[in-house]
C-alpha cells in the first residue's frame, strides 16, 4: 500500500492532517493507497503559491511556456508506465488502457504547446480616424481544476495544458477515487522543470475544495463532473464572480435509421456503452431505432451485449472492468429495477454478480418509453434502453426532448437525412456513422444542462483567457 503526499511548489509535502483518504481497487476491493486530506491552511497556501508563481509565469513569452509544455509531454511519456500502473490499480482499467491514457495526455499537452504562436487578439476599427482598438487575450490567474474519476489522467492534462500555455497557474483537485495517478503526473511536472508553484496537486475533502474554489485569488473553476457538482461550482463561483467552465452530464442519443449499416451500428453502440463500464460522459445512453429494422437491430444488440464479458482486467484485459464503487453499482441496479417495474423488458444482464469487485453486466432494456427515468436520467454504467420510432422527424423530436445536450450519434447512409438531423439536433457534438471520441483539436462543449464553456481546440484554450481592450489614441 502506498502513502502519498500532496504536491505544492514542486515538492511533495507531508500533510499536517493525520486524516487520510483510502483508495481502493474497484476490481477486488483491495486497499491500494492512502492519500492526505489537505488542511484548509495547506489548501490556502497552495493557492497563494500558485498566485505568486503566476506573476512570473505570465511574463514568459508563450513560446517559452510552450517549450515547458513540450518538456512535460516528454516527461509524461517517460513516466507513462508508472502513471499507467497507478491508474490501473485505482480504476480497474487494464494496464494497457491506463498506460495509453498517459500517452493521450502527452498528446494533448503537446497539442496545446503548439498554440504558443497562435494565441491571437484582434484589431478593431475605431470610430475615430486617429485611434486604434486593440483587443488582447490575457491569462485569468489561478485556475482551480476539479478532475473526475473516469479518465483522470487525460482530463487532468486536458485542463492544465491550455491553462498553462495561456499564462495561468493551477491548483488541481483529483478525484478521491483515482488520485494516485495525479501524483505520478506530479513527478513528470518535476522532471520537466516546470517552475515551482505553477502546478499544484492536492487531495482534499469537499469542505476544503470549497475553500480553494472560493478563495479570492482563484479566477476560474473548471470542472468535469455531474450536474449536481456543476451546481455546487456555480455556487462557489458566485462568491468572487469567478469564471466557470463546466463539462457535466450527458445522455447521448443514437438514432439508427432503416438504411444504416446495422452490424456496424450495433457493434459500435455496444462498444461505446461498455467502454470503461459505461463511465463515459459521451457514451451512448439511449437508442432510437426505426420501426422497420427494430427487431433485427435489437437482436444484434442482444447478441453483442450478451457476448461482452466482464471481470478483473488485470487478469483478463479484454473484459469490461468495474464501476467506480458499490454505491454506483447499487444506484444503477435500482434504476434497472425501476425501469422493469415501469414496463421495460429485460433482454440481457440486469443483476448484481456474486464475488469481489464492483462489476455489473452489460444490460439491455427494450419496450422503453420516453418518459421513463432510464431514458431521462444519466445512467453512467453499462445499461442501454432502446426505443422505437416511425420516421426521422419523430426520432429527432425524441432525441431533442431532453435536459442534456452533450453528444449525439446518427447512423444512416442517406446524406440528406444525416445533414438534416445534424443541423437540428440539440447537442454540442454530432457523430455520423461512428460513436463519440472527442478529438482534441475539436471543441467539446455541451448544450442545456450538459455544461458551460468547453474543452479542447482553439475555443477550449481560449476559455482560459480574458480580454483587455486597449484604446490607443495618436
Per-residue pLDDT, averaged over 1-27, amounts to: 93
Q: Quick one: pLDDT at residue 169?
A: 98
Strands 363-366 and 451-452, sheet pairing: unpaired
Q: Quick one: pLDDT at residue 346?
A: 98
CB 15 within 8 A of CB 38: yes
pTM, two decimal places: 0.96
Per-residue pLDDT, averaged over 95-121, amounts to: 97
Write out pLDDT tens, residues 322-353. Answer: 999 999 999 999 999 999 999 999 999 999 99
Q: Quick one: pLDDT at residue 408?
A: 98
Torsion of CA 178, 453, 169, 233, to 10 degrees: -60
Q: Quick one: pLDDT at residue 18?
A: 84
CB 426 within 8 A of CB 271: no
* Per-chain mean pLDDT for the chain: 97
Write out pLDDT tens, residues 301-323. Answer: 999 999 999 999 999 999 999 99
Q: Which of 66, 69, 87, 6 is nearest to 314 (CA)?
A: 87
pLDDT band at 253 (very low <50, low <70, confident <90, very high): very high
Helices 392-400 and 415-422, axial angle in degrees (round to 10): 30
Write out pLDDT tens, residues 196-229. Answer: 999 999 999 999 999 999 999 999 999 999 999 9
Q: Is 422 helix (H, G, I), strand (E, B) or coil?
A: helix
Q: Quick one: pLDDT at residue 17?
A: 84
Sign of CA pseudo-dihedral 265, 271, 277, 280: negative
Q: Quick one: pLDDT at residue 385?
A: 98
C-alpha 323/C-alpha 62 separation (Å) is 40
Per-residue pLDDT, averaged over 463-471, amounts to: 98
Q: Which of 60-69, 87-96, 290-299, 436-445 has the lowest mean pLDDT?
A: 436-445
Torsion of CA 258, 263, 264, 270, to 10 degrees: 100
Query: Distances from the Cα of 17 to the Cαs of 8, 205, 268, 466, in angstroms?
Result: 15, 12, 47, 36
Strands 404-405 and 363-366, sheet pairing: unpaired
Torsion of CA 115, 117, 122, 123, to 10 degrees: -170
Per-residue pLDDT, averaged over 234-263, amounts to: 97
Q: Which of 93, 79, 385 is nearest to 252 (CA)?
A: 385
User: Under CATH, to which class is 252-439 assigned?
Assistant: alpha beta
Predicted confidence (pLDDT) at residue 383 exceeds the cutoff of 80 = yes
* Domain regions of the chain by residue span: 2-248+450-473, 252-439
Q: Is 252-439 in the same CATH topology as 2-248+450-473?
A: no
- Residues marked active site are found at 247, 281
C-alpha 294/C-alpha 278 separation (Å) is 23
Q: Quick one: pLDDT at residue 138?
A: 98
Predicted confidence (pLDDT) at residue 1 exceeds the cutoff of 80 = no
Report the percent of the chain where pLDDT is more than 70. Answer: 100
Predicted confidence (pLDDT) at residue 399 exceeds the cutoff of 80 = yes
Predicted confidence (pLDDT) at residue 431 exceeds the cutoff of 80 = yes
Q: Quick one: pLDDT at residue 219?
A: 98
CATH 3.40.605.10 is right for the domain spanning 2-248+450-473: yes
Write out pLDDT tens, residues 350-381. Answer: 999 999 999 999 999 999 999 999 999 999 99
Amino acid at each position: 500500500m502506498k502513502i502519498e503526499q500532496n504536491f505544492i511548489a514542486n515538492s511533495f509535502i507531508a500533510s499536517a492532517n493525520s486524516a487520510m483518504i483510502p483508495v481502493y481497487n474497484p476490481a477486488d476491493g483491495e486497499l491500494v493507497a492512502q492519500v492526505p486530506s489537505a488542511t484548509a491552511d495547506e489548501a490556502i497556501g497552495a493557492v497563494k503559491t500558485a498566485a505568486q508563481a503566476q506573476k512570473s509565469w505570465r511574463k514568459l513569452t508563450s513560446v517559452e511556456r510552450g517549450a515547458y509544455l513540450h518538456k512535460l509531454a516528454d516527461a509524461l511519456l517517460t513516466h507513462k508506465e508508472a502513471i499507467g500502473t497507478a491508474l490501473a490499480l485505482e480504476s480497474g482499467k487494464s494496464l494497457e488502457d491506463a498506460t495509453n491514457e498517459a500517452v493521450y495526455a502527452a498528446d494533448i499537452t503537446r497539442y496545446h504547446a503548439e498554440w504558443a504562436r497562435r494565441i491571437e487578439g484582434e484589431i478593431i476599427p475605431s470610430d475615430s480616424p486617429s485611434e486604434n482598438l486593440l483587443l488582447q487575450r490575457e491569462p485569468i490567474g489561478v485556475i482551480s481544476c476539479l478532475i473526475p474519476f473516469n479518465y483522470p489522467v487525460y482530463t487532468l492534462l486536458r485542463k492544465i495544458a491550455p491553462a498553462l500555455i495561456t499564462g495561468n497557474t493551477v491548483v488541481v483537485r483529483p478525484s478521491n477515487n483515482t488520485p494516485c495517478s495525479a501524483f505520478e503526473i506530479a513527478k513528470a511536472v518535476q522532471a520537466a522543470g516546470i517552475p515551482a508553484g505553477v502546478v499544484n496537486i492536492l487531495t482534499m475533502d469537499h469542505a476544503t475544495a470549497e475553500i480553494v474554489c472560493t478563495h479570492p485569488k482563484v479566477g476560474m473553476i473548471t470542472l468535469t463532473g455531474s450536474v449536481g457538482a456543476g451546481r455546487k461550482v456555480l455556487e462557489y463561483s458566485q462568491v468572487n464572480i469567478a469564471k466557470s467552465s463546466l463539462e457535466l452530464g450527458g445522455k447521448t442519443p443514437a438514432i439508427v435509421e432503416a438504411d444504416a449499416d446495422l452490424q456496424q451500428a450495433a457493434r459500435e453502440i455496444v462498444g461505446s456503452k461498455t467502454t470503461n463500464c459505461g463511465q463515459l460522459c459521451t457514451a451512448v445512453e439511449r437508442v432510437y431505432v426505426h420501426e422497420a429494422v427494430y427487431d433485427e437491430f435489437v437482436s444484434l444488440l442482444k447478441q453483442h451485449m450478451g457476448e461482452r464479458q466482464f471481470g478483473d482486467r488485470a487478469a483478463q484485459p479484454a473484459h469490461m472492468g468495474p464501476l467506480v464503487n458499490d454505491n454506483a453499482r447499487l444506484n444503477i441496479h435500482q434504476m434497472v429495477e425501476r425501469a422493469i417495474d415501469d414496463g421495460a423488458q429485460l433482454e440481457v444482464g440486469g443483476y448484481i454478480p456474486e464475488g469481489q469487485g464492483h462489476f455489473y453486466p452489460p444490460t439491455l432494456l427494450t419496450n422503453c418509453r420516453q418518459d421513463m427515468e432510464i431514458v431521462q436520467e444519466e445512467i453512467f454504467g453499462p445499461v442501454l434502453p432502446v426505443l422505437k420510432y416511425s420516421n426521422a422527424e419523430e426520432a429527432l423530436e425524441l432525441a431533442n426532448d431532453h435536459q442534456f445536450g452533450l453528444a449525439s450519434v446518427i447512423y444512416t447512409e442517406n446524406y440528406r437525412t444525416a445533414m438534416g438531423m445534424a443541423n437540428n439536433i440539440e447537442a454540442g457534438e454530432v457523430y455520423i456513422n461512428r460513436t463519440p471520441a472527442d478529438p482534441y483539436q475539436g471543441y467539446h462543449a455541451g448544450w442545456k444542462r450538459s455544461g458551460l464553456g468547453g474543452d479542447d481546440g482553439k475555443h477550449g484554450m481560449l476559455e482560459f483567457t480574458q480580454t483587455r481592450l486597449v484604446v490607443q489614441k495618436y
